[in-house]
A and B are shown apart, each in its own frame.
Chain A
Amino acid sequence: MHTSTACSPADPGPTNGAKGPSVSTVDKPPRMLVLWCPDWPAVAACLAEGAPLHLPAAVFHANRVVASTAVARAAGIRRGMRRRDAQSRCPELMVFAPDDDRDARLFEPVAAAVEELVVGVEVVRPGLVAVPADGASGYFGGELRLAELLAEHVSHQVECQIGIADGLFAATLAAHRSRIVDRAGAAEFLAPLAVNELDQPDADRAELVDLLRRLGLRTLGAFAALAGRDVAARFGREGMIAHRLARGLDERPPHRRRPPPELTVAKAFDPPLDRVDAAAFMARTLAEKFHGGLARHGLACTRLGIYATTEHGEELSRVWRCAEPLTPQGIADRVRWQFEGWLRAAPDERPTAGVERLRLAPEETVEGNSLQLGLWQEGIRGLADEHGPAAERAGRALVRVQGLLGPDSVVTAVLDGGRGPAERVRLVPWGDPRTPQSPPDMPWPGRLPAPSPATVYEQPLPARVLDAAGEEVRINRRRELSAPPHRVAVGDGPLRDVLDWAGPWLVDAHWWTPGGDGVRTRVQAVLAGDAETAVLLTRVGGASPQWTVEGVYD
């Protein structure tokens, strides 16, 4: 068997091949505030020369306009215009040479002014600062208030605009438009914008943007709608990053130390691997090597990317998340399970040839001191307080199922605060940290008392709830039922008599969002039949109110 080990080319980024519902919130970008000084190079040049800002001025590089003041723009000066054309349109135009040092030097006081109010200031480039918005907006009493304060504080020095959104890219575009984009609304905000916006000054995406436009993708929304896999295949890494940005995600998930590329371990196989036992054998040596490489840099892997190329050129990939650093044994196990998942898949999903090339990439690493844990718990991903052999065996079985179905297919429930039986449960993929987001034991007005329904439908079943006159039971303005429920039909089933009922329990669900569904009304009812059935009926308000069966007490 000929084997060769090589450093890999650029990493195509995590391609998560997970099936099933997406329950993870790993990729959520942080809330950012961006303060943008329009036309900074031109403004800085004027400031440096002591020229007044109400006169037209422009900065030229290689005989082309790179920045101009608002006054110059009003006179018809555009980016990319030649010097002669510019001067013919606006003869009194002041012409400046570009000077990055000047731009940066003059911007420093602006950044310092921002820093007087908020911490964590990052200068993205001269003219643009980014600040994490969450802490500061809480302190100053709201994002709008924070934006106002900052604008006022900075405008003593220069003119500026402020935008707030999830992620740096969306926040920058929001700043260009002086907007505060709703939480989780970044993708929606970006969708109608032109695809040219991807070509920010320091990103150098002119070629990509040009290509996208020629392909007919004129808005960010159209680009974002492409499948990530296709983008990666056609545009490579650059395209993947641009695609993430267009979808309102961060360039890469936050707080992640990017591992140096030489930590990736690749191996070519001749003849190709087409049996699980052969793969298991290879996995062991490869895992040792991979782990050793990481350990030399004082790192350990918490997200392992497994990439395989088959003889027929098919690309297979899967990223494994782990709550704790992986040991060589853990890495080898995951590679073996992944091979089992690939080689034993249903015939139409199975790769058509053996694996010719295998690559292990550390998608996320942690500093070596976290490795201390490994002394006791062998990198088995259970709960923090569960290290026994039973937990270890269970963890291995679950990871194995993740190999068959994808990492998001195995979940455990975390009980959160909330009112409805479904709202109180959050499903966390196995291996992700189980931390409650809201305290489950606080009083929640409108919450139903125990016992809860033992069956809670993922998709509530539509129902008809009729009163004694055969009319649908409604919720009137005084938030009472229009009449006691008399008969109930579940789905397409027959009408069943209501033996007894209780309620309503009312919850104002998301009334503060425009698309919120208004009042949610819950009623418990016992229905007659061969056996009594107790159901939880829910009427969802909004434009077209509808009764549903949310759960069954069986």
Chain B
Amino acid sequence: MSVAVAEPVETLAALPGVSTASGVAAAAEHAQLTGRVLPVLPELRRLLPSAGLRRGSTIAVRGSVSLLLALLAEATATGSWAAAVGMPDLGLVAAAELGVEVSRLALVPRPGAEFAAVAGALLDGMDVVAVAARGAAPQEARRLSARARHRGAVLLSLGPWPGAEVELNCVAGRWTGLEGGHGYLRERRVRVQGAGRGAATRPRRADLLLPGSAGAPAAAPPEPVRELSLIQEAG
């Protein structure tokens, strides 16, 4: 039976531009090993077409600062350098809890009128540059994306970004841990939806605990069916 399935797969895979799932996985692994893709936490891998932050790409994150920080976590922890431009309100304790190595996260909280110049200079030297999307005009935004592509850096934007290859949209779900005056905020269920251009056209989504119980994100356990139907009714 397996032979019968394998044969059409082989003929399909032989077509130009078509590759098997295992082929894609192997390519992703190869890219990570050769440093063309910066690693992300395992829970976030399936949101990104190359299972990591592909150098030269622009990724827009919407709806959650935690998600932005979580994307930086694995890369900074494994020795890459990151910078955050124009985000004076970044919660750095939360960043550390999510797994970011804060000693390799440089902050330029107030670039002012030099936003584009600062982000550009940082793209030359850092591996990942996170910027507040509201700082850039569309023209500047496209120029920065081009610079990231040219320099092999990853541009992460907080907010919508024209020309982003991947856009991750975080829909906040329910918090757990509070009980009428007792307990504390423990974890939050979120649904992250990924969409984009090129290899990222296929919509992706993941249910996560972000932040998870110790801060670091975790894969969300499947929700009880009853609650799910309630959410669907509400939605």
Do A and B associate with each other? yes
Q: Interface on A for B, CB 8 Å cutoff?
A: 20-21, 344, 346, 383, 386, 388, 390-391, 393-398, 400-401, 404-405, 409-415, 421, 424-425, 427, 430, 434, 448-458, 484, 500-503, 524, 526, 531-534, 551, 553-554
Q: Are B177 and A421 in contact (CB under 8 A)?
A: no
User: Do residues B65 and A405 form an inter-chain contact, with CB atoms below 8 A?
Assistant: no
Name the distance in Å between B99's Cβ and chain A's nearest Cβ.
Answer: 12
Find residues 45-98 in chain B having any chain A CB closer than 8 Å to their own CB.
63-66, 69, 79-81, 83, 88-98
Q: Which residues of B contact A394 (CB under 8 A)?
A: 81, 83, 104, 106, 125-127
Task: Determine the chain B residues whose CB is within 8 A of the CB of A456 once the complex forms.
Answer: 89-94
In the complex, the chain B residue whose C-beta lies closest to that of A398 is B106
A519 to chain B, nearest CB (A): 18
Kindly list chain A residues whose C-beta atoms are within 8 Å of the C-beta of B211.
450-451, 454, 553
**In the complex, which residue of chain B has the Cβ closest to the Cβ of A529?**
B172
Whether A397 pairs with B114 at a CB distance below 8 angstroms is no
A411 with B109, Cβ < 8 A, contacts A401-B122, A451-B215, A455-B89 known: yes
A534 touches B91 (CB 8 A): no
In whole Å, how far is A486's beta carbon from the nearest beta carbon of chain B?
12
Partner of B94, one of A400, A410, A454, A503: A454
Point out residues on B near A: beta carbons under 8 Å. Answer: 63-66, 69, 79-81, 83, 88-98, 102-114, 117-118, 121-122, 124-127, 171-175, 177-188, 211-215
The answer to whether B117 and A524 touch across the interface, beta carbons within 8 angstroms, is no
Shortest CB distance B157–A (Å): 16
State which of A393, A401, A424 has its C-beta within 8 Å of the C-beta of B93. Answer: A424
Smallest CB separation, A301 vs chain B (Å): 23
A484–B172 Cα gap in the complex (Å)? 25
Chain A residues positioned under 8 Å from B175 (CB to CB): 500, 526, 532, 534, 553
B125: contacting residue among A396, A450, A458, CB under 8 A: A396
24 A-B residue pairs with CB within 8 Å: A20-B109, A346-B113, A390-B79, A390-B127, A395-B125, A396-B125, A397-B126, A404-B121, A409-B111, A410-B108, A411-B107, A411-B108, A412-B106, A412-B107, A414-B103, A448-B184, A451-B186, A454-B95, A454-B98, A456-B91, A457-B89, A458-B88, A553-B185, A554-B63
Residues of B within 8 A of A393 (CB): 81, 124-126
Q: Given A393-B125, A412-B105, A412-B106, list of 20 further CB < 8 A pairs?
A: A346-B113, A383-B103, A388-B79, A390-B80, A394-B83, A394-B125, A401-B108, A401-B118, A405-B111, A409-B108, A452-B94, A453-B91, A455-B91, A500-B178, A524-B178, A524-B184, A526-B178, A526-B185, A534-B188, A551-B91
